[in-house]
Amino acid sequence: MIYFLILLVLLFPSCTKSESVEEKPDFILRYADNQTADYPTTKAAILFSDLVYERTDGKIKILVYPEAKLGSENEVLEQVVIGGIDFSRFSLGAFADYIKTFEVLELPFLYRDAEHMWRVLDGEIGKYFLDISKSSGAFGLSWFDAGARSFYTRNKVNSLSELSNLRIRVQESDYMSSIVSALGAIAIQIPYSDVYSSLQTLKIDGAENNFPSYVAMGHSEVAMYMLLDEHVRIPEIQVMSSKTYEKLYEANPAYIDIIKECATECALYERELWKQSEQDALNKMKENGVVLTPVSNEEKEYYKKKIANIYESRSEEEKAIIKAIQEL
């Protein structure tokens, strides 16, 4: 009998070896996103998870939860700060509530175009903001694209002046409310997932967002008029909880370098996906009969002057950053 068992082990070593070699990850972490599984930011999160798992030899496994399964953007940010969720990405509209200086990066009509924004974020200014993010409890890793935001409404609007007294949904951010209010509209803070029903039930007259989000959430079904004003370009920041950072650094400082490297790669991937996603969304909007109304550069300049107080109210340090951005 003993001889028979020994013979089985010699003949079929893989049966016992595979069981002993397969190891569980040292860390199982959570990554939250409020978009759908096929959205650029979620796809980038999945790539990030795969890269980290591969480059840590399976020591770190990151589970990605799309579609706001772990809560709204603000709820997730609160959890990231206290260490309840390990990774996510946030619009600066939400993140700036924790570090006010981030409001500078989302000033209306700040960037001349997308290329200008990336010169800012991929340079020393972007690095500075990633560094100061640590004080919030969320460690900045990389920058995602989220395009330019424009207004869309249930009834046709031909110019920015016609937004006056319309109820416009904004992100749950007092700063974003101040921008929309400065343009003459009535800012209504509503969670992203509730925008469709709020438009449908006439609780709001319109909202503002980028093309892919507008299409992905079906808002064109209830608000088919878009004013192409591009009043803000709001990049998104990919973060790791500072609590997670400390835990991983204590286990192995090399893990932090790997995570930063993977974050940079997935951010570049997200930007490429975003370009295609914007074009696909625009094509879909045209197919669905969305009425697109352009805004002249002259009107944009007029409103930039009209909301100059938003720029003037910044601190001297922030004004220096704004000047550096404008000169790039």
* Domains and their CATH numbers in the chain: 24-146+235-282 (3.40.190.170), 148-233+288-327 (3.40.190.170)
Place 17 in a pLDDT band, splitting at 50, 70 and 90.
very low
Place 98 in a pLDDT band, splitting at 50, 70 and 90.
confident
pLDDT digits (tens, 9 = 90+) for 279-297: 999 999 999 999 999 999 8
pLDDT at residue 22, as a whole number: 62
Give the span between the Cα atoms of 168 and 184, in whole angstroms: 10
pLDDT at residue 253, as a whole number: 97
pLDDT digits (tens, 9 = 90+) for 21-35: 568 999 999 999 998
pLDDT digits (tens, 9 = 90+) for 219-237: 999 999 999 999 989 899 9
Q: Which residue has the higher pLDDT, 126 or 306?
A: 126
pLDDT at residue 152, as a whole number: 97
- Measure Cα distances from 157 to 154, 291, 293, 299 in Å: 9, 10, 8, 14
